[in-house]
């Protein structure tokens, strides 16, 4: 497992989510990504998207008056059995 950081402070919708999607796409299963945001809507959008994609949302922490850290973990890819 490797821990990565993505600072998207100063970015507004849709960029925090787009940049998070790009970064998560490059990670391998078990890797974690700490996303630092200062756009409040991202605190809702990024975890919702992550859960839909099957990623674990490990933590959401307020780290400043208007700044948050969202910790995501990329899970194992789904195994599809042939014939089902």
Q: 13 an active-site residue? A: yes
* Exposed e or buried b per residue across 25-58, where buried means at least 16 C-beta atoms within 10 angstroms of its C-beta: eebeeebbbbbbbbbeebbebbbebbeeeebeee
- Given 13, 18, 40, 56, which residue is catalytic? 13
Catalytic amino acids? 13
């Amino acid at each position: 497992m490797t821990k990565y950081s993505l600072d998207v402070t100063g970015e507004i919708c849709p960029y925090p989510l787009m940049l998070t999607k790009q970064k998560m796409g490059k990670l391998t299963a078990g890797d974690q990504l700490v996303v630092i945001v200062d756009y409040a809507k991202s605190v809702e959008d990024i975890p919702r998207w992550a859960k839909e994609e099957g990623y674990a949302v490990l933590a959401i922490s307020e780290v400043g008056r208007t700044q948050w850290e969202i910790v995501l973990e990329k899970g194992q890819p789904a195994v599809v059995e042939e014939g089902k």
